[in-house]
Amino acid sequence: MFEPSAQIESVLAAVACRPDASAGMQAMMQRASEFATPWQAQLTGIALDPGGRALADEFLDTYWSQQAYRRDALNLAGPDREVIIGSGFHAAVYAAIRVRSGHPRPLVLERASRVGGAFAVTARPTFYLNSRNRPGGAGLAGDQGANLNYLPGAPIQATNVTMAEYPANTDMAFVIRLALAQFADVVTDANVRYVSRDGDSTMIDLDGGRQVRAGRIIDARGVGDPVDQNVANGTTILTFPQFMGRMAGMWPLRAVGRAAVVGGGDSAKCVVESLLGLAPQPFMAAAALDSVDRVDWYAEQLPDTCQGWQQAIRGRYQGIGRYLRPDRFGARRLNIVDRRVRPVALPDNALIDGRAYDLVVVCTGNQETDIDGLELSAFDEYTLTGINAMARRHYSLPAFRVGPHARLLFTAQERADGIADIAANAVSMFRTAGKTAILAATLPALTADD
């Protein structure tokens, strides 16, 4: 079994010397025999103890932001090193499986200041994952013995972190962050601008003029940035990440009497849950002070009655349907409007079709931010004999796209299994995690000829 990295050992030591944070770690050692290693039991204890987890999260943020550490990590890059762009779920999967397969630790470049990708958009829990929290290994939807939130190769899983029916975003973020601390060297605030060939080497240009040499690039940038971020003004009109950032702050729904949500996907559903009080508890918020009176949801092809919702929408979001019933006075707190709209920001509110709202949240999908040299058109599906496409491979650079960023089409088997019946499954973790794991396990070691 693998040993803890220097970063993980530092986390354990930091928590152990704080009596107010180490109770969970110490208690879990009573069940150490149920884990592969004692230190994985300790990490589970830290994850289950709010004080321990907060301290561990703070320690990792500080560790990754140190200038000396960042400089040393970048200096170690070279033609014998793999570089992962992005620090989300698939970066963690690739790093974990790659290192456990006997290869060197990759370098991870994260453009933000916080590691963990979309799940780490907030440090406080603000939305739930789509799949139920159950033990087991990787598997497909419908397999009751599978854990659809499984991160292959990670030291601990989301099922180690919470007992809740659905894990929160911060639960998965903690699993991702621990996996990267164990299996990778992470540099934050490292925005990639350009990738090119320089003789026999591949060069990565970062903001600020810094260049990094790489032997292979794994592009794991996830689903991308909000499509309508140019519509949002950050106050009365917000994107999904901006709204979740607000929900992590104090009194996030203060003075929001009437709100609108634009878009009908999973992000929009999470926003509606927050506005209705179904999401994780906001910080310092109370129904008597911070209750939204009315939510207008502008989305096409969504059921607009309680009965229709219960019949058409999967269990994860069933609670929303209760608010589509009128009360005894005929009023409904949630109303679905079946049409496309474009909100307009005003100084104190926002307008949709002439109707004023205190807050509008646009959840109309994502698009990738271009990196010169890594355009999607330069990649083809990458397969092995007997294995369906698991990634996309660049036609001239030693670069691969993984996870949602690879935009892999549904296979015939996935269509036969019913996975393709839900369009959102194209980017689901249970579908894409195994593909990234296979790539990490089967790519040959870097050589001087790569």
What's residue 199's pLDDT?
Answer: 77
- Looking at residues 100-124, what average pLDDT do you find? 96
- Top-level CATH class of 226-367? alpha beta
What's residue 444's pLDDT?
Answer: 96
Give pLDDT tens digits for 11-27: 999 999 999 999 999 99
What's residue 210's pLDDT?
Answer: 93
Closest CA to 427 of 396, 442, 405: 405
CA–CA gap between residue 73 and residue 75 (Å, rounded): 5
What's residue 449's pLDDT?
Answer: 56
- Looking at residues 86-102, what average pLDDT do you find? 98
Give pLDDT tens digits for 25-37: 999 999 999 999 9
Q: Helices (H) and strands (E) in the chain — how many of each?
A: 13, 20
CA–CA gap between residue 384 and residue 372 (Å, rounded): 28
Give pLDDT tens digits for 272-301: 999 999 999 999 999 899 999 999 999 999
Can you give the three-state secondary structure of 203-259, one letter per residue? EEEEHHHCEEEECEEEECCCCCEECCCCCCCCCCEEEHHHHHHHHCCECCCCCCCEE
Tally of residues, the chain: 450
Q: Is 352 a residue whose pLDDT tops 60?
A: yes
CA–CA gap between residue 349 and residue 330 (Å, rounded): 27
User: Do the first three CATH levels of 66-224+370-442 and 226-367 match, i.e. the same topology?
Assistant: yes
Q: Is 46 a residue whose pLDDT tops 80?
A: yes
Q: Where are the domains of the chain?
A: 66-224+370-442, 226-367
Q: Which of 65-69, 111-115, 131-135, 372-376 has the lowest mean pLDDT?
A: 131-135
Give pLDDT tens digits for 127-158: 999 999 988 888 777 677 789 999 999 999 99
Question: Residue 78's Cα: distance from chain center in Å?
Answer: 28
Q: Is 82 a residue whose pLDDT tops 90?
A: yes
Phi and psi at residue 283, to the nearest 5°: -75, 125
Residues of the chain with pLDDT > 90, as a percent, come to: 84
Q: Which of 34-43, 145-154, 171-180 has the lowest mean pLDDT?
A: 145-154
Burial tier of 78 (Cβ tally within 10 Å: 0-12, 13-18, 19+): middle
C-alpha distances in angstroms, 418 versus 301, 311, 396, 423, 431?
A: 20, 18, 35, 11, 12
CA–CA gap between residue 340 and residue 328 (Å, rounded): 30
What's residue 419's pLDDT?
Answer: 87
This prediction's pTM: 0.95
| Contact between residue 115 and residue 84 where contact means Cβ atoms under 8 Å apart | no
C-alpha distances in angstroms, 218 versus 373, 400, 406?
A: 13, 5, 11
- Pairing state between β 185-187 and 107-109: parallel
What's residue 50's pLDDT?
Answer: 95
Cβ count near 205 (within 10 Å): 18
CATH of the structural domain 66-224+370-442, one choice from 3.40.50.150, 3.30.390.50, 3.50.50.60, 3.40.50.880 = 3.50.50.60
- Looking at residues 368-388, what average pLDDT do you find? 93
Give pLDDT tens digits for 311-346: 998 788 999 999 999 888 778 899 999 999 999 999
What's residue 450's pLDDT?
Answer: 54
Give the DSSP per-residue string, 107-141.
EEE-SSSSSSGGGGS-SS---B-SS----S-S--T
Q: Is 248 a residue whose pLDDT tops 60?
A: yes
What's residue 405's pLDDT?
Answer: 93
Give the residue with greater pLDDT, 146 vs 124.
Answer: 124
- The rounded mean pLDDT for the chain is 94
- Looking at residues 28-47, what average pLDDT do you find? 97
